[in-house]
A and B are shown apart, each in its own frame.
Chain A
Amino acid sequence: MDFQVVVLAGGTSKNLAPLVSKEVPKALLPVANRPVLSYVLELLEASNLKELIVVVEGEDAAFRVGGWISGAYVDRLHVEVAAVPEDVGTAGALRAVAHHLTANDVLIVSGDLVSDVPPGAVAATHRRHGAVVTTLLCYAPVSGPSDTGSSAGKDKVKKRRYNIVGLDPTRQLLLHIAAGAEVDKDIRVQKNMLRAVGQLEIRADLMDAHMYAFKRSVLQDVLDQKDAFHSIRQDVLPYLVKTQLRSEISANGLYKVEDNANGTVSSQNNLTWMSQHREIAPSAFQALLALSPRSPENVLRTHKCCAYIASKSKYCARLNSIQAFSDINRDVVGEASHLSGYSFSTQNNIIHPSAELGSKTTVGPQCMLAEGSQLGDKCSVKRSIIGRHCRIGSNVKIVNSVVMNHVTIEDGCLVQGSVICSNVHLQERVVLKDCQVGAGYVVTSGSEYKSEPLARK
């Protein structure tokens, strides 16, 4: 279908320290005991997109990601892993692979997206409207349940990240997008945009899901001309949305005359016929533009930005903060369980056959125990995920947490709302509430931590 796919898998992001480290780049962070990148790859494979380019920041991370992919997807996908220097931003990452892109349109997916929205829907909307960029918008997730929220101290104000999105009445054209810091200031809407569509609907409940379909020529032009652009979401996309009506992109793909000598004449004629007839899908947008008193050259220089709103029944979340990490883990075993690919037992949890449970140990619903884990007596596991080969002693309570592989937890511990990375050793009677323990850390016995990241120096 003339689409190429680029997956931006990031590197070691600062938001997720101490969960990410040199050994575990962000793309390989486990969600329900599968690396988060695997969700994106499964989604693309299900849509029959077998040739991908995965871009990773940092040489080590690229090496590890490449190793994992070639191990797990050896026959199923054809993946090229490209390494880019750190901190170039998503736009910089694209600049590095821009010369590999040859197809007419490019689908860009963020590697930390956990979703079941079919990428074909975004691509179909993109083609149907002949747009320059199409974004996937999904309903912003409601924040987690109260037992995690209540323990956050008053001093830690959780800033809800808003996205302000402006749509036309048919909810297909994207007319305004603002994210991050801009949101707190005023919103500026262009008058000519309002005049062109008549009605502008501004919504704060939609979130940019970081799956974009770009027209390749336009993307390459923008990246070449604007060197300062760092991020797609914050720079490239708002730029394209703002310049919809006074397009400065010279290679407006629609109106570019192809090199074929015969084709030149006839395609020019084609275009004059079309503009006379207004017969190729004139949206109200462009038809009204044609009416405004401008010289004919200006009328042609517009482009469209479209949005595809995922339906409410689909799950869509991005792993860009620790709160999101806990939420996604909970959701994948809970409401979005079809994403995990596992089959649930009768008690609505996933227990690997090789996991051993002691006597009087309860494992509640929406939990997951991976292979080789051992739990001692009188333990209680509620809404948590426990990784492979963990040794958990007796009288341990694990609530609402994520425990990764090869973790040792001694007797009498209480782990609540926390994330414990691999190879951690928790000694006896440790109490952890809302903490994040980095890989390889040893928590001394009897200590109590609340809302702290613990990492090896």
Chain B
Amino acid sequence: MQNEGTSKPQKQKTSKAERRAIQEAQRAAKAAAKEAGGVKPSASSGGAVPALKQGKVAKPSSQRKDGPQVTAPVTSSEKKVVDRLPEKDRKKDVPHPRMQFDDKHRVEKAKRRAVVNQSEARSRVELFRHLPQYIRGTQLPDLESKFFQLDPIHPSVYKVGLQYLSGDISGGNARCIAMLLAFKEAIKDYSTPPEKALVRDLTAKIGSYVSFFIECRPLSISMGNAIKFLKSRIAKLPHTLSESEAKSSLQSDIDRFINEKIVIADKVIVRHAVTKIRDGDVLLTYGSSSVVEMIFLYALELGKHFRVVVVDSRPKLDGQALLCRLVAKGLNCTYTHINAISYIMHEVTRVFLGASSVLSNGTVYSRVGTACVAMAAHAFQVPVLVCCEAYKFHERVQLDSICSNELGDPDVISKVPGWKDLNHLDNWADNENLQLLNLTYDATPSDYVSMIITDYGMLPPTSVPVLVREYRREHLWI
């Protein structure tokens, strides 16, 4: 109390409410300092608190707010006084991929740690406020100009991050493989710093790379599972191994994962699925799935006669690339957009869809529009077969597409490529009553799915939790 008296320039007459507010603030500061004081030595936390007190006293008149709101600026100013926590502890504060983004303070914290500069969305759809709203157009030039200043990030990790940001790589399998190969390179060039354990340091490094990827583009479920696998392999490394042995063992683990869980799994799925294609079939697919394409090409090699209908949708229009590749191989194809799905469905005999993941209640989490296609097929009593590798399964349950999703760039919706005169939405941001929403994923309920084809066989959607439970994580991913 003494130093406060001497430092105050003049005695300010504070009202009772203000004094109460100051008291609350000091109590809250003390509680917060006690928590943070566990990390720092007591001297500096003791030094932090009086500085706070001075800061708080100097502006009492502005603090007419209630206690809880006063604590928020207190904690933020305290953060500036206390030194930044070391890397390892900071890692725990990295925003979880399922972070809720309507909490302002968590968002502020996350922003301060961000490597990539994220600007606020111009207008946010209220229903989706809990999802990260990013404007990717400004991120890429910003990340590019910082290219040489981001030293702790390995070049191949950086390259893959840039490719995610710019949309060069898309699709669950492609993203997962690119990420694992980048990690393999990073592990190859890794060397343990002195006085640190390989296991912990490497895990921390991989964690930092993962946060970088998240900032470039939110993780897909396949990527999340692959990261869990890699971390568990690192944690299980025997301590007796030397560094080079550990590194080569990790690299061979990554190779084995890619080989067994993706490449060979795809081959098995293709073998199973081809048995469901008969001569004279009309097969429908939506968007561009790597597995479905392989199924069609293999069936063509086996000499089956069938037709393919490729359904596509704006804004990504991935179906066009698939169409080009199928036509080049000599398949008889029809191309249409999703608005015509009910007109074409009566010709179709089977529907093959790819998935980003299948959840525990049998819901298929896939590219937006898949649910529509599945529902239309169900209405016409056309069987829907979803092809998904087992490593993409996840034990969570999702009932709708709202609670967890990814938001894309809204500007892409307002422009139609090739039609320059359709410019009515050019200034959509100026209109306060208009918000554009570009969802990336949607959830297809299990009622619309007839069968799921995985590398463990062909199952009904209700069997997915059995698979996740019986062939537990260790088996699913190893």
Interface residues of B in 299-350 (CB under 8 A from A): 321, 324-325, 328
Q: Which residues of B contact A262 (CB under 8 A)?
A: 248, 252
Q: Is A125 an interface residue (CB 8 A)?
A: yes
- A47 nearest CB across to chain B (Å): 5
Nearest to A172 among chain B residues (CB) is B166
Q: Is A143 an interface residue (CB 8 A)?
A: no
A128 and B166 in contact (CB under 8 A), knowing A120-B147, A273-B263, A280-B174? Answer: yes
Q: Which residues of A contact B145 (CB under 8 A)?
A: 47, 118, 120-121
- A255 nearest CB across to chain B (Å): 15
Q: Is A279 an interface residue (CB 8 A)?
A: yes
Q: How far is the CA of A93 from the CA of B173 in the complex (A)?
A: 45
Contact B258 A3 (CB under 8 A): no
Contact B147 A128 (CB under 8 A): no
Interface residues of B in 158-217 (CB under 8 A from A): 158-159, 162-163, 166, 168-169, 171, 173-174, 177-178, 181
How many residues on the B side are at the interface (Cβ–Cβ under 8 A)? 35
Q: Is B63 an interface residue (CB 8 A)?
A: no
Contact B147 A287 (CB under 8 A): no
A49 and B258 in contact (CB under 8 A), knowing A262-B248, A279-B174? Answer: no
Contact B174 A277 (CB under 8 A): yes
Contact B155 A127 (CB under 8 A): yes
Q: Is A142 an interface residue (CB 8 A)?
A: no
Q: Is A291 an interface residue (CB 8 A)?
A: yes
Contact A118 B144 (CB under 8 A): yes
Q: Which residues of B contact A119 (CB under 8 A)?
A: 147-148
Contact B169 A281 (CB under 8 A): yes
Contact B255 A1 (CB under 8 A): no
Q: Is B7 an interface residue (CB 8 A)?
A: no
Pick from B144, B151, B163, B166 the residue with the most CB of A within 10 Å.
B144
- B352 nearest CB across to chain A (Å): 18
Contact A128 B168 (CB under 8 A): yes
Interface residues of B in 126-160 (CB under 8 A from A): 141, 143-151, 155, 158-159
Q: Which residues of A contact B290 (CB under 8 A)?
A: 277, 279
Q: How far is the CA of A109 from the CA of B277 in the complex (A)?
A: 58
Partner of B144, one of A2, A3, A124, A283: A124
Q: Is A363 an interface residue (CB 8 A)?
A: no
Contact B173 A277 (CB under 8 A): yes
Q: Chain A 35-55, CB within 8 Å of chain B: the 1/0 string?
A: 000000000000111000000
For the complex of A and B, the 3 pairs showing the least CB-CB separation, nearest first, are A120-B147, A118-B145, A124-B144
- Seed contacts A273-B258, A281-B168; 13 additional CB < 8 Å A-B pairs: A47-B147, A119-B148, A120-B147, A124-B147, A124-B162, A127-B162, A128-B162, A129-B168, A277-B263, A279-B290, A287-B321, A291-B324, A291-B328
CB-defined A-B contacts under 8 Å, sample of 15: A48-B149, A104-B155, A120-B144, A120-B147, A120-B148, A120-B149, A270-B181, A277-B177, A279-B178, A280-B174, A281-B168, A281-B178, A288-B324, A291-B328, A311-B141
